[in-house]
Amino acid sequence: MIERYSDFSLLPYNTFGIDVKATRFVEFESEEELCEIVSEGIAAPTLVMGGGSNLLFLNDFDGTVLHSKICGAEVVVESEENVFLRVGSGMKWDDLVKFTIEQGWQGLENLSAIPGEVGASAVQNIGAYGVEAGEFIERVDTISLADGSKHCFSQSDCQFGYRDSIFKHEAKGLYVVTYVTYRLRKKPEYKVAYGNLRQRVEQLGGLSPANISQAVRETRALKLPDPAELGNAGSFFMNPVVERSLAAELLEKYPEMPQYKADGGIKLSAAWLIEQCGWKGKRVGNVGAYAHQALVLVNYGGATGQEIIELSDAISLAVKEKFSVQLHKEVNAISCEN
Ligand code: EPU
């Protein structure tokens, strides 16, 4: 059933815990319902929301928020090596991860305990512990907001990159994701090179999706705050990729600086840069940089989006001044005046 609300509080719908309202909030449970909403006309501006775990509201949203409640996971093709699972965009991401592990299908276990929903996994190409969701996405089904027509994007159409996809560029704001089809493995290829993941997995009894998932959950719990207890949106900034020449200069000056090879240059650790500028664990009013992971900005309670942005601007400026490196937000800041 289509659910329509006015002056709707988005407080429980954004993990930062920012107290703002949407003028209209509309939920749908099927592609047909979404087509009906589109054909009736949607009062602009429009925002398509998933679990609100990567959004920062700067003020009330005077427009229409669309939220998918399309659920369910269905095996569409199965071979000896793979399972193709078509999943509704409104399913909670971690419920999907748990379901695939229960079925004995491998692939998503490194992405355990990430907040958010299935639709956003394709838009954001969520990633953690050496794995990105896009590696497992076979196809993304969408509905055009312009005319309700269906458009399917193949994995290559999606142009997945580091926390990036076509849905953040050419296709931005044009489509609503309705289903994502994942290609999961029956013959596992585990990735446990991150930190001491392999060691912990061995202690838990050896390589398996369930043990990797457990080890990842433990690691995340140590470093990342639970949004139910402390408002946050995971990493606030992306890890910056800089030119080799700048990376070399920086390494000469700061020999202990973490650097990683990346497409188009050298990837630096945003958390390390922020920590070096003295921001780790620092609190300003209702907001701060988390004590166990400097890259995570937190709402200690009652913060406005503006306060978070002011903190992020101060952090960016400090990093720019000290290291000549520009940080870019991973979190999507939403302002109706933009
Ligand atoms: N570090 C510090 N200070 C800190 C935290 C980290 O100096 O406070 C340094 C350490 O050298 C550490 C390195 O940064 O070895 C990397 O830290 P971490 O492994 O925690 O990863 P990250 O690069 O900070 C990224 C993702 C996370 C993901 C982890 C694990 C981005 C923007 N963030 O963080 O994703 O969980 O790797 O794979 O790429 C998210 O996107 O919301 C998110 C949480």
Domain identity same for 180 and 87:
yes
CA nearest 329: which of 305, 300, 304? Answer: 305
Q: Which domain holds residue 304?
A: 226-334
272-329 pLDDT per residue, tens: 999 999 999 999 999 999 999 999 999 999 999 999 999 999 999 999 999 999 999 9
Domain identity same for 168 and 35:
no
Token readout for 247 is 């990376």
CATH number at residue 59: 3.30.43.10
Token readout for 62 is 């005077």
Atom of ligand 1 lying closest to residue 239 CA: 32
Domain identity same for 262 and 312:
yes
In the predicted model, is pLDDT for residue 206 greater than 50?
yes
Domain identity same for 236 and 312:
yes
Model confidence, pTM:
0.97
Atom 26 of ligand 1: nearest residue by CA position: 128
In the predicted model, is pLDDT for residue 3 greater than 60?
yes
- Structural domain ending residue among the three candidates 221, 239, 260: 221
Average pLDDT over residues 109-138: 98
Query: Can you spell out the DSSP letters for 162-231?
Result: TTB-GGGTTTTTTEEEEEEEEEEESS------STTHHHHHHHTTSS-HHHHHHHHHHHHHHHS--TTTSE
In the predicted model, is pLDDT for residue 230 greater than 80?
yes
Domain identity same for 78 and 213:
yes
Domain identity same for 83 and 190:
yes
What whole-number percentage of the chain has pLDDT above 70? 99
> Within its chain, how far is the Cα of 305 from the centroid?
18
In the predicted model, is pLDDT for residue 338 greater than 60?
no
Rounded to the nearest whole angstrom, what is the distance from the C-alpha of residue 223 to the centroid of ligand 1?
9
Atom 36 of ligand 1: nearest residue by CA position: 128
Burial track 74-96 (b if 16+ CB lie within 10 A, e otherwise): eeeeeeeebbbbbbbbbbebbeb
Indicate the average pLDDT of the chain: 97
- Structural domain ending residue among the three candidates 42, 68, 94: 68
In the predicted model, is pLDDT for residue 336 greater than 90?
no
Rounded to the nearest whole angstrom, what is the distance from the C-alpha of residue 160 to the centroid of ligand 1?
20
Tally: H helices and E strands in the chain: 8, 20
CA nearest 114: which of 123, 101, 104, 127? Answer: 127
What residues form DSSP beta bridges with 144?
175
In the predicted model, is pLDDT for residue 216 greater than 80?
yes
Rounded to the nearest whole angstrom, what is the distance from the C-alpha of residue 126 to the centroid of ligand 1?
13
Domain identity same for 180 and 80:
yes
Atom of ligand 1 lying closest to residue 238 CA: 32
63-112 pLDDT per residue, tens: 999 999 999 999 999 999 999 999 999 999 999 999 999 999 999 999 99
**What is the predicted pLDDT for the residue at 46?**
97
Rounded to the nearest whole angstrom, what is the distance from the C-alpha of residue 271 to the centroid of ligand 1?
6
User: What residues does ligand 1 touch, defined as CB less than 6 Å away?
Assistant: 128-129, 223-224, 234-235, 238-239, 258, 269, 271-272, 275, 280, 293-295, 330
Total number of domains constituting the chain: 3
